[in-house]
Amino acid sequence: MKVPSASARALRADELGLRRALPGRTLPLMVAAMALLAALSVAGWIGTSALARQWREGAGTAMTVQVPRPNEPSAKPDTTRLAAAVALLAGTRGVASVHVLTEAELTDLLRPWLGDSASQLALPMPAVVAVRLSGAAIDLAVLGHALDDAAAGTAVEDHGVWMRRLSALAFSLQACALLALALVGAVSIAVIAVATRAGLAARRDAIEIVHGLGATDGFIAGRFARRTMLLAAFGGFVGAFIAVPALLVLAQFAAPFAENASASPGHAALFAALPIPLWGSIAALPIVAAAIGFVTAQLTVRGWLRHLP
Amino acid sequence: MVRFESVGLRYGRTGGRDPAPEVLRDISFELPEGTFCWLRGASGAGKTSLLRLMYLAVLPTSGKLTLLGADIGRTPRAGLPPLRRRIGVVFQDFRLMPHLSAFENVALPLRLAGGSDAQIRADVIELLRWVGLGRKLYTLPEELSGGEQQRVAIARAVIARPSLLLADEPTGNMDEAQAERLMVLLGELNRIGTTVVVASHNDALVERHPAAELRLDRGRMVREP
Ligand SMILES: Nc1ncnc2c1ncn2[C@@H]1O[C@H](COP(=O)(O)OP(=O)(O)OP(=O)(O)O)[C@@H](O)[C@H]1O
Ligand SMILES: [Mg+2]
């Protein structure tokens, strides 16, 4: 007749029969799907953030200057137009290095458009100067005027326009990812609230009995919250578990766009394939799911209990 | 202990142009501590409703209700559960938790009051033995007979030694011998100071156990204890 005390304790922990009223399959399954979506959204956000940063930094670090008729004399005596432009550039604050592209480099650049015959063209080719910037702000308008004075017709091509467009694109992608994340959170809350309400309906009598015996709202809400917290945490864990291989596969596709894709084999490479903040987010998924489960159930049950005196 | 002052009760709409009918009207009486009181009246007179007010399952729509020293109208909602824990109730339909064993059903009030596991075990087993269920401690309600379920319900109502014990037709499913046994238990509890109110249709039982009597007729009180 004696029931082991462990099972008695287990029974006590479930006075309201929530193990049956809040079954352990549907809710974790839904939460797992939400957690997977959340992981993908976070990955999208982190990925686009990195791209945006890369592009933003790229925009500020390089520009190209074209000097037409480079070998003709400049306004200054005894200097070619090219030399004058290079000297001016090298003397400008914020310029880290100035490199005049060689004939071979130019041919390489033009090959995609002109083919191998580029070098044999009789066209007058401008000299192209690749300028790397150090980060200090440069007033492009002033520089442009100065270059035009030194060698009329010199054109400065700032990469910034393109980079700014790409940054705007990256920003809107980031916004999409955040929106998706917010939606996933909202849907998770709704799913847990609906499950909790179903549990309340299924255990209406039991709740009224313990309420009548003097159970506080906190006690009843706490029982529900503990159950949904466990189920949501489990779902979050499963979602996170599935998210890892899914994200690793996606990372393979995205590798060409990544800044420093590592080629080293083994576990380290697997770990390095995803950014650390993403690993952190994946690890946080079960905790966040548990928190959403706990808070949502608490609020839902406490709201419902207001019907009782 | 219990004081009603012009208490009225409506179920449903309490105000507006079309309020629900008053099932209890202008009820006033007082039960001093340690009273034993019968609650009588025809079916539909409002006996269950009056008991529901006393175990705080409903609150008065009008008038003033004082229970266990607390003015219920002025008690915040969070103040009601501690009062409920001092009130034991035997329902006509038992209201046992279907998924909990007899032991766990009876232990529930002690768990809610935060008793220790060992103390709860000892008390619950002793009481269940006393009501003759020592061999069915871990049986679910659906596997118990009506009378056995009733005894579990009674045990649950008295386990936490309530100050106020309310019973709604507790002898409904009992034969005469069982009913007498219940009266002995209620008498014992009354002797140690518990205020007891029993709603009953069983005229023979009431006559065998004369006590104060509260009589209702269509929601009005026609006899004060
Ligand atoms: N939950 C409810 N909602 C609306 N009306 C109710 C409710 N419970 C009871 N009533 C009404 O209140 C009146 C009194 O009912 P109550 O159950 O208190 O009577 P009773 O004296 O206990 O009757 P019985 O002896 O048959 O148990 C009845 O007219 C009944 O229809
Ligand atoms: Mg009744």
Show the tokens assigned to A117: 């015959």
Spacing, Cα B220 to ligand 2 middle (Å): 15
pLDDT-based confidence at residue A23 (cuts at 50, 70, 90):
confident
Please tell me if residue A25 touches chain B, with a CB cutoff of 8 Å: no
- Rounded to whole angstroms, the Cα distance separating B14 from B18 reads 9
Instruction: Among A110, A128, A153, identify where a domain stops.
Output: A153
pLDDT for position A176 = 93
Show the tokens assigned to B29: 């009486």
Calculate mean pLDDT across residues A91-107: 84
Is A105 within a domain? yes
pLDDT for position A74 = 78
Is A1 within a domain? no
Pair (A267, A134) in one structural domain: no
B48 lines ligand 1 (CB under 6 A): yes
Strand ranges inside B68-163, DSSP E? 70-71, 87-90
pLDDT for position B122 = 95
Calculate mean pLDDT across residues B190-215: 92
Is A13 within a domain? yes
Instruction: Among A91, A125, A153, identify where a domain stops.
Output: A153
Calculate mean pLDDT across residues B192-212: 91
Percent of chain A with pLDDT over 90: 39
- CATH no. for B32-59+76-223: 3.40.50.300
Pair (A190, A300) in one structural domain: yes
- Residue A263 belongs to domain spanning: 6-57+163-305
pLDDT tens digits along B3-13: 999 999 999 87
pLDDT for position A15 = 85
Pair (A292, A199) in one structural domain: yes
Cα A140 to chain centroid, rounded: 32
CA distance A294 to chain B (A): 21
Please tell me if residue B55 touches chain A, with a CB cutoff of 8 Å: yes
User: Which of B56, B107, B108 comes nearest A210 by C-beta?
Assistant: B108
Is A269 within a domain? yes
Mean pLDDT over each residue of chain B, to the nearest integer? 91
pLDDT for position A6 = 43
Pair (A136, A178) in one structural domain: no
pLDDT for position B16 = 72
Mean pLDDT over each residue of chain A, to the nearest integer? 84
Instruction: Among A128, A153, A178, identify where a domain stops.
Output: A153
User: Which of B57, B82, B137 comes nearest A212 by C-beta?
Assistant: B57
pLDDT for position A117 = 67
Pair (A147, A181) in one structural domain: no
Of residues A264 and A58, more confidently modeled: A58
Please tell me if residue B68 touches chain A, with a CB cutoff of 8 Å: no
pTM here is 0.80
Is A63 within a domain? no
pLDDT for position A60 = 64
ipTM associated with this complex:
0.92
Task: Give the three-state DSSP class for B93.
Answer: coil
pLDDT tens digits along B21-77: 889 999 999 999 999 999 999 999 999 999 999 999 999 999 999 999 999 999 999
- Rounded to whole angstroms, the Cα distance separating B195 from B184 reads 15
Number of domains in chain A: 2
> What phi, psi does B216 have (nearest 5°)?
-115, 145
Spacing, Cα A86 to ligand 1 middle (Å): 101
Please tell me if residue B59 touches chain A, with a CB cutoff of 8 Å: yes
Pair (A115, A255) in one structural domain: no
- Rounded to whole angstroms, the Cα distance separating B190 from A248 reads 73
Nearest CA to ligand 1 atom 27: B43
Pair (A134, A175) in one structural domain: no
Q: Is the pLDDT of residue A281 over 90?
A: yes
Show the tokens assigned to A252: 């393979």
- Rounded to whole angstroms, the Cα distance separating B184 from B106 reads 20
pLDDT for position B46 = 94
Is A253 within a domain? yes
